A and B are shown apart, each in its own frame.
Chain A
Amino acid sequence: MGFTVLYLSLIVLIPLLTLPAKTATLSAHEVWDVVSDPRVVASYRLSVGASLIAASVNAVFGFVLAWVLVRYPFPGRRVVDALIDLPFALPTAVAGIVLTTIYAPNAWLGALLGRIGIKVAFTPLGITIALIFIGLPFVVRTLQPVIEDLDLEIEEAATSLGADRRTVLWRVILPYLMPAWLTGFALAFARAVGEYGSVVFISGNMPMRTEISPLLIITKLEQFDYAGATAIALVMLIMSFVLLLAINGLQSWSSRRLAD
């Protein structure tokens, strides 16, 4: 018990507390100047916007994947199931360079898309694709166990009472899965907002256009502008806390729902 709290404090809490402590040495005016800078605001907008789109795409395809993996047997299912965790296991820097190589204008897929007028690498679209990659496991892995637990008898009951398959899906299955689905979405979103490694290669890092907030923090740190970096980081930290609270709330809603 003592060791637990001591280790937690030394490794996690004290280091994280330096962030508000450093902010306290700045005046509110200084903090506001940094975080209201157009370049910083553009980076927040990009990070949050691309993360929302990526998490939404993952919500749709993650649902399909989880459903197929649980309900429809097909050859090679176990391999596909294991592969889902690749974005967790593959270092983000590797993901970053490989996605850039695939979608660069001179690579085959990048060139193919370029011919129909879609530029991916070094645009917000490229950032979104990297964020889809790293967020993919969250929705699948939160939905999978809930779909497994979905009682066939409930579907059977609804069907025998005359509901067709679409009604069963909308009125029985989706409401049941909703808390877990939202949790997966929130987890993918939270991960995407702070992501750095997989994005920094494909983004091109042009100020105001493709510069994400974590990169801006690093830029400030490299210029020894610790105050500026801290102010940007604090806003991101607050976002993370709000998301963490939301996720905890969703999870307890989910477990209450499942306990009924």
Chain B
Amino acid sequence: MPGYVRSISGKARPKARRLTETRAVRWTLTAIALLFVLLFLVMPLAVVFTEALAKGLAAYRDAVTTPDALSALKLTLIAAGIAVPLNLLFGVSAGWAIGKFDFRGKELLITLIDLPFAVSPVISGMVFVLLFGRQGFLGPWMLDHGYRIAFAVPGIVLATIFVSFPFVAREIIPIMQATGTQEEEAARVLGAGGLQIFFRVTLPNIKWGLIYGAILANARAMGEFGAVSVISGHIRGETNTLPLHVEILYNEYNFQAAFAVASLLACLAVVTLVLKAIVERRAHAVDVARERAEMDLLAEGHV
């Protein structure tokens, strides 16, 4: 260990030197990590856009403005527009129930909320076919009464809600558990009403968690492929979402158009990543400020 010997004779402290890897190891590991990121993340993202623009801007514009592409875009926005607000509502109520109250089966409830993450997307779509399909449990009765769910828009919306279900709840639950009920109790004692407590005390506490969960849920809702593919029935111009439209174009060997539509989804992914990074920083700043305030109170002997 030449470094060790030299530092003994010199003034540098050997301990500090050996607390990290040698420079050669650090550089090698960093290089491996960056190469892996380049190969597996950067290159695919870049190829989406180069392929999309392979035949020029005009072809790109044509591909994303065909009636089929526009109706796919519309359905994607509808599905996410229903699924995300509903799951926000559920996330808050689940967080409220689990974080603020004690009851039996709490752990089980948390595990059940995670279920949609654990099952294959194909199975997520399939259960709605089993429920609402022509041979399904409720399907024949509903079809007789004029409700078409499987292979129609309502089925797509249901599958989208299912796959994006846990995102908000799993962000809110830990926050609600961590903040407890003290602040709400204080507000109650000071004379605030139920709604006032929610909007002035609870909501500001969970705000960043809500936004974070909504961003993730939205990305999943707009991008879901497997589950929606099973329930959609692939009816062009009717039950096609953007990811399904990408598949159809690709399977027709219309690669440039497929990548043009895919590039819209890739843009969504990039926007998601940027927003996510911003929210993470904001939420972190809030945490730090809160901690500092609590430390100040402690130092002054108020707590």
Residues of A within 8 A of B (CB): 1, 3-5, 7-8, 11-16, 18-19, 21-22, 61, 64-65, 67-69, 71-72, 74, 78, 80-95, 97-99, 101-102, 132-133, 136, 152, 155-156, 159-160, 164-165, 190, 193-197, 201, 214-215, 217-218, 221, 224, 226, 229-230, 233, 236-237, 240-241, 243-244, 248
A102 & B114 in contact (Cβ 8 Å cutoff): no
Most buried by B among A4, A68, A71, A156: A4
Q: Which residues on the A side are within 8 Å of B20 (C-beta)?
A: 71
B37 & A237 in contact (Cβ 8 Å cutoff): no
How close is B263's CB to chain A, nearest CB, in angstroms?
8
Q: Which residues on the A side are within 8 Å of B30 (C-beta)?
A: 68, 72, 74
A91 & B223 in contact (Cβ 8 Å cutoff): yes
Report the separation of the CA atoms of residues A90 and B93 in the bound assembly, to the nearest whole angstrom: 29
Query: What are 11 contact pairs spanning A and B, CB under 8 A?
Result: A4-B97, A5-B109, A18-B127, A83-B273, A84-B37, A89-B219, A101-B51, A156-B15, A194-B120, A197-B243, A244-B114
Q: Which residues on the B side are within 8 Å of A12 (C-beta)?
A: 112-113, 115-116, 162, 165
8 A Cβ contacts from B37-58 to A = 37, 40-45, 47-48, 51
At the interface, yes or no: B208 with Cβ under 8 Å from chain A?
Answer: no
Report the separation of the CA atoms of residues A240 and B101 in the bound assembly, to the nearest whole angstrom: 30
Q: How large is the interface on B (under 10, 10 to 19, 20 to 34, 35 or more residues)?
A: 35 or more
Q: Which residues on the B side are within 8 Å of A65 (C-beta)?
A: 33, 36-37
B44 & A95 in contact (Cβ 8 Å cutoff): yes
Q: A89-B223, A93-B262, A196-B122 known; 16 other A-B pairs, CB under 8 Å?
A: A4-B109, A64-B32, A65-B37, A67-B29, A69-B33, A71-B20, A80-B33, A89-B219, A90-B45, A90-B223, A93-B247, A94-B266, A136-B40, A159-B19, A217-B123, A248-B111
A201 & B137 in contact (Cβ 8 Å cutoff): no
Secondary structure of the B side of the interface? helix
Per-residue 0/1 for B15-40: is the Cβ within 8 Å of any A Cβ (1 yes, 0 no)? 10011111000100110111011001
How close is A235's CB to chain B, nearest CB, in angstroms?
11
B43 & A18 in contact (Cβ 8 Å cutoff): no
At the interface, yes or no: B60 with Cβ under 8 Å from chain A?
Answer: no
How close is A252's CB to chain B, nearest CB, in angstroms?
10
Nearest chain A residue, comparing its CB with the CB of B242? A91
